[in-house]
A and B are shown apart, each in its own frame.
Chain A
Amino acid sequence: MQNSKNSNVIGGTKKRVTDALSMVVLIIVFLAYMFPFIMVVINSLKEKRDIIKSPFSWLFTIKGLSFDNFVKAFTQMDFPRAIQNSLFITILATVFVTLLAAMLAYYIVRHNNGVSKVTFAAMVASMIIPFQAIMIPLVSIYGGTLNVLNHRVTLIFMHVGFSMAMSVFLFHGFIKGNVPIAIEEAAYIDGCTNVQTFFQIVFPLLKPIISTIVILNSMAFWNDYLLPSLVLTDKNLFTLPLSTYSFYGTYSADYGTIMAGLLLCIIPILVLYVALQKQIIGGVVSGAVK
């Protein structure tokens, strides 16, 4: 013990120097990471000619500083409607997949029968199938035979289906390890039905994993572009990524407006991130590590 203390004292200056050095490296790398965002913020407030003159000119050195870009982007993107569509789809899909996956996983854990085994194996195996390997037949089936594309409900249904396997997998692991069967037996003795037991006893115990699943899924649904682009072609139904895409196609030369539009897309997520940073980071890590 004495020894290691001594070496700490001797190594003190060296450690301080390397610490300072790594701090400098970190700050430089960090600024490089933030650089694109800084550019977006600065240029969203400038007029086009000032942007072309120099994207670096600071706000106080130019005259044309204004929020016009935001007003224009807000109306041209039909921002309120896109946000509404995104919220509607993300919230409903997240609620449904959380609920249905929890129930399915609970069934699988408590019923050790053939159906459970086959279902679970199929789900785990399906997790390696990339979306691109399914998208063509998906469009064929739902667009051709069933003809149900261009409905928000269809998109919600598909989001739920695609995220089911991963969600069941996470719930399955958690229920197996953390939900003691003794509690349920006590509930049955008190006269609870299976459904009552699940909703009143089991589901509340799942809180930690529910927060992980809600965060992972809602982020994926909110940002998804490819699936919504295949399902929704009616402009009135566009989610935020879709309307960003079509907005960019129309205004790509109008830099200030574009920057303002992109910033509008980022701000809601950023606000949520600042508020829920701990939960989001915790959720992402535990989702990946399992």
Chain B
Amino acid sequence: MNLIEIIALVLGALTIASGLMVVLSTHPVRSVLYLILTFFLISANYILLNAQFLAIVNIVVYAGAVMVLFLFVLMLLNLSKDNEPKASNLMKLAASVAAGVLVLVLLAAFRETTLVEMKTAVGANSEGLVENLGNLLFTKYVLPFELSSVLFIAAMVGAVLLSKKEKHLID
């Protein structure tokens, strides 16, 4: 076992542990903070795979923007352990069913996977570098890429429409 494999193992364990803490910690703000930590650890995993662009974009988008909004909303609502609504039994049942379905899908996906040896040597894989990623996105995967941008615009227009409508009603 070489040094990189040890680092990969430790990182993976840390990532899973902090992911678990997101679910296990009872305080909403702490949960979000663990989620932020998880995103940073995932970025570290990307860097280990030499995917620098993905790692940084993961931090900019998820750790930097999305999680700031999460934290913002939590602080605005001032949620804490005391006034968190208690989950009813029906909700617990629904949650278990949803989680069970997710596990089923994941198992079905993982059933046929094989272990691939990690290419971790310096310069061994350049697939994650920004030039190659850009080339792929604008040639082979141009349709899904453009479609996802249309999806984002639709979501944006929807959000604007929702806020406009509310204002109209008040007038």
User: Does A pair with B?
Assistant: no
